[in-house]
Structure 1
């Protein structure tokens, strides 16, 4: 097993703060500003607190964006959660320094931790907007992010879940999860939420956990090395010798130290680690058959007697 890389998460497990501290819009930051301007419903808007680009991921100031989008923000002082709600009944709760969120009564994992930047609560822009049933996009001409509220779809006579999903670039399985459906049956006049947050889509639900494992094990490795870490996990899922789920493999006893010591709950994955996780989940495999990896410089004796699939960066991948 690869030696756990030293990883410092300076924002992890922040103490419970007052509502004013959590939600105040401040100025200045140690983070590079991505932009102080974005499009809201096709109108260019200037923010008091800029969007922030952190490891390739755009973070948004929660309170200010919520005010622009007519979402409601509250604070659960007992649990230390910031809670964001929209007019469609969706409720997203999060705590700074954690990547676990509560959404509509269930707990999910996201690839990055919520952050405090200049005494202001920040979440990844895509996570926040999709959870509030809005669409995040990109205005190429102005090179600015855009956020657009999306109305639920009203089912028409003759519609099927599959046809609605195809027309909206999603899947029937994702729509069923998003709308709490137990079957594919629809009735004319039914209202369906069409924006499915990545963290609850069955096709991408493993991205967060896998990308954070990649980050801690190969954060400084080349992109191919990041994909290879994910490949080892997925190769194990398919092998019959390990648990048959991504979480089962990662949390198996004696395998990945970051999973056992809780680091994955307070770790943020870079955009490249997320991209690598998605590539592996989509079928890209750069180390077919590899079930283990390690650093041969740290374990030279092991390197001599292993069945090597490939060496990438500082890691040797073996069967």
Structure 2
């Protein structure tokens, strides 16, 4: 009788552990959450996490932008931390001394390329893409992409991820004072910010 009870306990424990394993999220599938603080909006939370406000609202089944302090929001994945760091380093090197809007626009060009069928479909491959033996971005060619990104470049990446900034679908940018390619200068200009002209 005792053996039968022990077997039943052992089987029950095994079944319970399998059920628990199937219900509890794994580390890789666990979603990021954010607890709403006083004064926060979907726009601010979206910028902080690099996610569009509309996507945040959709994921959390919100029909209105009303938020409550203490409420927990599920944050959808954007790009990986390594990709964010790489993109921020590119922005830092490419747009050093440029206005903040220009930094956001540089990051947006990379993200637009990821979305375009004309370019690779991830941040790393877009940044390290070569054409006729040359990298698409000067900082990759000269090594300045290996410098640490500053806080402003990181913030610009977050904003570009959330809102794509100015540029109306820009896929290119260049400095008209130093550009030597007649092909790049022939592209349709979308916006000029600081020393950079953006184009598609």
Is the TM value for this pair above 0.5?
Answer: yes
How far 1:232 moved relative to its partner? 0.9
Unaligned runs of 5+ in 2: 1-19, 36-77
Distance 2:154 2:32 in 1: 26
Higher strand share: 1
* TM-superposition CA deviations, 1:231-252 (whole Å, max 9, x none): 1111111111111111101111
Matching of residue 211 in structure 1 with residue 75 in structure 2: no
Closer/same/farther in 2, CA of residues 202 and 159 from structure 1, 3 Å limit? farther
Cα distance, 1:208–1:239 mapped onto 2, change above 3 Å: same
1:160 aligns with 2:48: no
Cα drift, residue 298 of structure 1? 2.5
Cα 1:290/1:168, change in 2 over 3 Å: closer
Distance change in 2, residues 1:304/1:215 (3 Å): closer
Q: Quickly say closer, same or farther: Cα 1:316–1:202, change in 2 above 3 A.
A: closer
* Gap change, CA 1:223 and 1:202, over 3 Å in 2: closer
CA–CA distance in structure 1, aligned partners of residues 100 and 108 of structure 2: 12
TM-score (norm 2): 0.56
Q: 1:309 to 1:250 in 2, by over 3 A?
A: same
Matched, 1:269 2:146: no
Report if aligned partners of 1:230, 1:276 keep a CA contact under 8 Å in 2: yes
CA RMSD of aligned residues (A): 3.2
Match of 2:161 among 281, 288, 294: 281
Match of 2:160, SS? helix
Deviation of the 1:225 alpha carbon: 0.1
TM-score, with length taken from structure 1: 0.37
Q: 1:242 to 1:300 in 2, by over 3 A?
A: closer
* Larger relative contact order, structure 1 or 2 (CA cutoff 8 Å, min sep 6): 2
Counting matched residue pairs gives 132
What's the counterpart of residue 235 of structure 1? 112
SS of structure 1 residue aligned to 2:82: coil
2:125 to 248, 262, 269: 248
Displacement, 1:282? 2.4
Query: Contact 2:89–2:148 (CA<8 Å) still a contact in 1?
Result: yes
In 1, distance between residues paired with 2:101 and 2:190? 14
Greater fraction of residues in helix: 2
